[in-house]
């Protein structure tokens, strides 16, 4: 076990040509993630949060000389306790696995949870966030982090242009991607699914005349947000869909989507009277 090894022990894998190393490094590519149903988690905090969220781990790779900080040691201990197979590598091999990420000497391979709409189980009066057409992993990760903080019951990615278990999304979400109930589906299917469950849709649009704080954000609710480039598509303008905007009081015409999402979600929480902190 890596945790028991002295720092100068010979690592289990020392060649970047090792087929296991190649297979794991391949998970940086969407194609390999989709084919295998696996993804890579970089970093101690992210690994720890994946463990706490009940994600299924296949294995982990550790570079002992690079292991930094109490977080990394704690994450490694948790993996060891859980009986996850741990393989040590030298720094060169680890660099290939970590692909330039600040992974603190620890990467793990996990199974991607189901992203099917019908696998979402929502409580009564759910607060759902829908993000349409998001392109940048950093933005999706940031929205996930806000959704986790605000206690959204689910995040649905409509017409995804990036997959939620892209390692860069995992990192940008600070590992919260594993804790937020998540689904991916075409926008039309998402709208039909929400309507069938009588979940009211509030669409955020920069040009909507109604201010978000004047909208009733209680009850079963989906807050829909578009991509930064295009905003929401016209599909989110049908009967019964209310459009709102954030007051933009300066020179810019829009905020980052994770900021817009957070302001809306926290206003919904405030209106719902959820016991604070």
Q: Is residue 74 close enough to count as binding its own copies by CB under 8 A?
A: no
Q: Is residue 255 close enough to count as binding its own copies by CB under 8 A?
A: yes
For the chain, how far is it from start to end, CA to CA, in angstroms? 40
List, in order, residues 6 or more apart from 232 with CB less than 8 Å away. Answer: 132, 203, 204, 205, 224, 225, 226
Q: Is residue 223 close enough to count as binding its own copies by CB under 8 A?
A: no
Tokens of 224: 């829909």
When the beta carbons of 20 and 269 are compared against its own copies, the nearer one is: 269
**Contacting its own copies (CB under 8 A), which of 180, 185, 222, 223?**
180
Shortest Å, Cβ 222 to its own copies:
18
Q: Is residue 267 close enough to count as binding its own copies by CB under 8 A?
A: yes
**Contacting its own copies (CB under 8 A), which of 5, 16, 18, 53?**
53
Q: Is residue 139 close enough to count as binding its own copies by CB under 8 A?
A: no
When the beta carbons of 9 and 211 are compared against its own copies, the nearer one is: 211
Q: Is residue 124 close enough to count as binding its own copies by CB under 8 A?
A: no
Number of residues that bind its own copies (CB under 8 A): 44
Shortest Å, Cβ 31 to its own copies:
27
Q: Is residue 251 close enough to count as binding its own copies by CB under 8 A?
A: yes
**Contacting its own copies (CB under 8 A), which of 88, 89, 139, 258?**
258
Helices 137-149 and 257-272, axial angle in degrees (round to 10): 10
Q: Is residue 174 close enough to count as binding its own copies by CB under 8 A?
A: yes
**Contacting its own copies (CB under 8 A), which of 12, 16, 245, 272?**
245
**Contacting its own copies (CB under 8 A), which of 13, 213, 220, 272?**
213
Beta-bridge mates of residue 111: 38
Q: Is residue 256 close enough to count as binding its own copies by CB under 8 A?
A: yes
Distance CA 262, CA 221 (A): 15
**Contacting its own copies (CB under 8 A), which of 147, 199, 203, 268?**
147
Shortest Å, Cβ 208 to its own copies:
8
When the beta carbons of 24 and 50 are compared against its own copies, the nearer one is: 50
Binding residues for its own copies, rule: CB under 8 A, are 49, 52-53, 142, 145-151, 174-176, 179-180, 208-211, 213-214, 245-252, 254-256, 258-259, 262-263, 266-267, 269-270, 274, 276-277
């Amino acid at each position: 076990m890596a945790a028991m090894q002295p720092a100068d022990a010979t690592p289990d894998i020392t060649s970047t040509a090792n087929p296991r190393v190649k297979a794991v490094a391949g998970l940086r590519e969407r194609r390999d993630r989709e084919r295998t149903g696996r993804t890579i988690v970089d970093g101690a905090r992210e690994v720890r949060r994946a463990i706490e969220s009940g994600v299924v781990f296949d294995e982990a790779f550790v570079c002992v000389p690079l292991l930094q900080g109490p977080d990394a040691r704690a994450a490694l201990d948790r993996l060891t306790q859980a009986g996850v197979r741990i393989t040590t590598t030298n720094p060169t091999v680890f660099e290939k696995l970590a692909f330039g990420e600040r992974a603190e000497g620890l990467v793990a391979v996990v199974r991607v949870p189901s992203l099917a709409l019908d696998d979402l189980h929502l409580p009564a009066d759910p607060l759902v966030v829908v993000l349409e057409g998001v392109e940048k992993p950093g933005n999706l990760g940031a929205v996930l982090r806000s959704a986790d903080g605000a206690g959204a019951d689910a995040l649905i990615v409509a017409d995804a242009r990036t997959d939620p278990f892209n390692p860069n999304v995992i990192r940008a979400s600070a590992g919260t991607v594993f804790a937020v109930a998540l689904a991916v589906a075409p926008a039309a299917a998402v709208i039909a699914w929400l309507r069938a469950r009588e979940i009211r849709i509030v669409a955020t649009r920069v040009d909507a005349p109604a201010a978000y704080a004047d909208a009733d954000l209680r009850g079963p609710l989906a807050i829909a947000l578009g991509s930064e480039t295009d905003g929401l598509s016209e599909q989110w303008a049908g009967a019964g869909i209310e459009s709102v905007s954030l007051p933009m009081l300066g020179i810019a015409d829009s905020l980052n989507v994770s900021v817009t999402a957070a302001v809306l979600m926290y206003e919904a929480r405030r209106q719902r009277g959820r016991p604070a902190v």
